[in-house]
Amino acid sequence: MVSAVLASAFTSCTKDLDRLPKNEITSEQVYANTAGYKQAFAKVYGAFALTGNQGPAGNGDIQGIDEGFSDFLRLYWKAQELPTEEAVIGWGDAGLPDFHNMNWGANNPFLQGLYYRCFYQITLANDFIRQSSDANLSSRGISGADADEIRRYRNEARFLRAYQYSVLMDLFGNVPFVTEADALGSVLPKQATRAELFTYVETELKELETLLADPKTNEYGRADKAAAWALLARNYLNAEVFTGTQRNTDAVTYSKKVIDAGFTLEPNYRNLMLADNQLNRNEFILTINYDGLSTQSYGGTTFLVHAAVVDNMDAKNDFGIPSGGWFGLRTTKSLVNLFPDADGNADKRAQFQKNTLEINDISKSSEGYGVRKFRNVTRTGAIAPSIDAGGTFVSVDFPIFRLAEQHLIYAEATLRGGTGGNQATALQYINALRTRAGAPTVSTINTDFILDERARELYWEGFRRTDLIRYNRFTEGSYLWPFKGGVKEGRGVESFRKLYPIPTSDLTANPNLKQNTGY
């Protein structure tokens, strides 16, 4: 691929935590022709699902962390779910218990890995955008239909970069900022404020909504206008947290754009996270695609399927993984109690293994209900056909955006006063989700109901930390769950933990950076 290193905050661990894969091939060789551009573009997307250039282990993208832990989704999921009532994990890897205990620090290896993974993917996007400028295309003799296709790739790379900056804005707040305009190895990047990042991402997405493919016309797993609208709607819903100014009217506007773009709900909720969920293109707006043969890593949905297999679960026949489970992830009673019954008879979204509801010892995989949401079987119950000989790597795609979230955004933004939102329509969108789940419809809704409904619909999909922060229930003592803050009955923690710390390694390397308050 490309040999280039950013002499920036991303070089903090002896220049190896945020680099493009280093070999003897130069940029001029990679981008010499259209085929090279396609290969480089594939890496920009592929970095979401893969951890390196050699399969599940060896030649990893991110150094300084076990490659099996370095996948984007695995790291992001832990940061969003493990500090909440939706998930606990029994493993004792250094830094991992810190999430549910809510006592992480600036040297936490998982937070450091996530930070550098995000910037690694931004670096890939920046390089592709830089190399696909009109001037570079012209200098390399690429024109006509080929140049037009590469420009479309360039727009999608811009979207993926904006998505990664959105993740960093949410998790870390004020972070280093670089684009394709910053020459490689020139200067240390300045730190952008959270509000500046919000404006940058908004500006990019508003431009891209005119440049990306029309909704539902692009290849599955690639971004289109609906993905841009969905990210705008998500960011607008959280704008008051990010900038201090609410943008509920815009959240209504952009969620409605997605809803009206021709997407429909998958009729069976329990088909959403199975091995043939590529069939859910009616509901999925943008996905990270996984295949048991061609995208092998110990992160992504391989992690979500294996780690969720705990006591009294059948790894092979029910979860579609003959190699067995990893006995780690469960949920707390606070999530379970949001459903009328844990068997899913009254709400099919309840997909639990009824072990011990009470958790006295997080390290015991028998304590806490298991979750059966992600399984490597098709909707017929068969093990995924695309599976490795060892029966380990799964083929469950992960939706970054799906229609149900937009229903929930529209309803919440409307209830929060978003102009243009209609409460009767909001109620209709919520009842559509409940009807799909076999749950009784409701006649009225309020914002507290929406928070609970988001948990019922979206649990384990990487939303809960952000949702609880928006509702002032993440660090506060007014809302507790088992072992919140490291004690069995739960406790409030310091408010500064609504942001994660900038890794110490980056602060050391880049004097332009200032640590988040409290760390």
Rounded to 10 deg, the angle between the 225-237 and 144-172 helix axes is 20
Structural domain includes residue 279: no
8 A C-beta contact, residue 171 and residue 508: no
Within this chain, do residues 238 and 356 fall inside the same structural domain, yes or no? no
Within this chain, do residues 137 and 62 fall inside the same structural domain, yes or no? yes
Within this chain, do residues 391 and 404 fall inside the same structural domain, yes or no? no
Phi/psi of residue 293, each to 5°? -105, -35
- For residue 413, how many C-alpha atoms fall within 13 Å in the half-sphere facing its CB? 31
Within this chain, do residues 189 and 86 fall inside the same structural domain, yes or no? yes
Within this chain, do residues 108 and 132 fall inside the same structural domain, yes or no? yes
What is the 8-class DSSP label of residue 4? -
Q: What is the pLDDT of residue 27?
A: 79
- Give the separation between CA 69 and CA 283, rounded to whole angstroms: 29
Question: Exposure of 58 by Cβ count < 10 A (0-12 exposed, 13-18 middle, 19+ buried)?
Answer: exposed
Q: What pLDDT digit, counting tens, does each position of 1-39 carry?
A: 222 333 333 333 323 333 344 445 677 888 999 999 999
Q: What is the pLDDT of residue 5?
A: 31
**Alpha carbon distance, N-terminus to C-terminus of the chain:** 37
Structural domain includes residue 217: no
Structure tokens, 101: 């205990």
CA-based nearest residue to 11, from 166, 157, 149, 185? 185
DSSP3 helix / strand / coil % (the chain, rounded to 5) = 40, 5, 50
Structural domain includes residue 133: yes
Q: What is the pLDDT of residue 21?
A: 41
Q: What is the pLDDT of residue 183?
A: 76
8 A C-beta contact, residue 1 and residue 31: no
Contacts of 282 (CB under 8 A, 6+ apart): 263, 264, 265, 266, 403
Q: What pLDDT digit, counting tens, does each position of 45-98 carry?
A: 999 999 998 889 888 999 889 999 999 999 999 999 999 999 999 999 999 999
Q: What is the pLDDT of residue 18?
A: 35
Q: What is the pLDDT of residue 85?
A: 98
Within this chain, do residues 402 and 321 fall inside the same structural domain, yes or no? no
- Give the separation between CA 229 and CA 208, rounded to whole angstroms: 10
Within this chain, do residues 443 and 415 fall inside the same structural domain, yes or no? yes
Task: Tell me the CA distances in angstroms from 305 to 366, 376, 388, 460, 464, one per residue in order.
Answer: 17, 7, 15, 11, 19
What is the 8-class DSSP label of residue 496? G
Within this chain, do residues 454 and 490 fall inside the same structural domain, yes or no? no
Task: Tell me the CA distances in angstroms from 53 to 23, 49, 136, 302, one per residue in order.
Answer: 11, 11, 26, 18
Handedness of CA 422, 424, 425, 431 (dihedral sign): positive
Structural domain includes residue 99: yes
Within this chain, do residues 89 and 75 fall inside the same structural domain, yes or no? yes
Q: What is the pLDDT of residue 12?
A: 34
8 A C-beta contact, residue 43 and residue 23: no
Structural domain includes residue 323: yes
Residue that finishes a domain, picked among 375, 396, 417: 396
Within this chain, do residues 418 and 367 fall inside the same structural domain, yes or no? no
Q: What is the pLDDT of residue 26?
A: 74
- DSSP secondary structure letters along 290-303: --TTTS--SSHHHH
List, in sequence order, every beta strand (DSSP E) within 313-423.
Answer: 329-330, 352-353, 370-371, 398-402
CATH of the domain at 115: 1.25.40.390
Q: What is the pLDDT of residue 24?
A: 53
Within this chain, do residues 39 and 135 fall inside the same structural domain, yes or no? yes
Structural domain includes residue 297: yes
Residue that finishes a domain, picked among 334, 363, 396: 396
CATH of the domain at 251: 1.25.40.10
Within this chain, do residues 433 and 379 fall inside the same structural domain, yes or no? no
Amino acid at 249: T
Residues of the chain with pLDDT under 70: 1-25, 185-186
Structural domain includes residue 518: no
Residues forming a β-bridge with 367? 356
Amino acid at 265: L
Number of domains within the chain: 3
Residue that finishes a domain, picked among 371, 396, 421: 396
Residues forming a β-bridge with 399? 287
Structural domain includes residue 278: no
Structural domain harbouring 180: 1-211+472-512
- Give the separation between CA 514 and CA 290, rounded to whole angstroms: 37
